[in-house]
Chain A
Amino acid sequence: MNDTVTLAHGAGGKQTSELISKVFKAHFANEYFTADDASVLPAPTGKIAMTTDGFIVSPAFFNGGNIGKLSICGTVNDLTCMGAKPLYLTCAFVIEEGFPMDQLEQIAAAMEKTAKEVGVRIVAGDTKVAGKGQVDGVFITTTGVGQILDGVETSGAFAAEGDDVLVTGDIGRHGATILLERNDFGIEADITSDCAPLWNSVHAVLSEVPDVHVIRDATRGGVGTVLYEIAAESDVSVTLEADQVPVDPAVQGVCGMLGLEPLYLACEGRLVMVVPHDKTEKVLEILHHSAYTEGAKVIGQITTEQKGRVIMKTSIGAKTLLPQPGNELLPRIC
Chain B
Amino acid sequence: MDGTIFLPLMVVIPILCAILVNLLHGTQTITKIIAVIGAICLPVVPLVATYGNSFFGGYAPLIEGGFTASLPDAVNSLVSGTILELFHPAITYSFGPGQQVILFVLGLVAMCAIILSVAETKKTSGVYLYLLFMLSAALMAFTLTDDIFNLYVFFEIAALVQVGLILVSRVKGNYETGLKYMLLGEIGGSFMLLGIGLLLGLTGNVNITDIVMVIHSGAIDPYNPVLLFAAGMLIYGWLYATGLPPFNSIKSEIYSKGLPSGSILLQSFSVIACITIGLIILRIFAYSSTVQMVVLAVSVLAMILGICLAMVQDDYKRIIAYLAVGELGYIGVGLGLGSAYSITAGLFQAVNELMVTSLLFVGFGLVLYKARTSKISKLGGLLEYMPVGALLTVLAGFAMAGVPPFNVFQSKYMLVQAAMVAGIPELAVIMIILSIVTFLAFLRIAYAVFLKPKPEELEVSKSSVPRTSIAIMVILIIVCLVIGLMPDIVVSQLGQLALTTLAI
Do these two chains interact? no
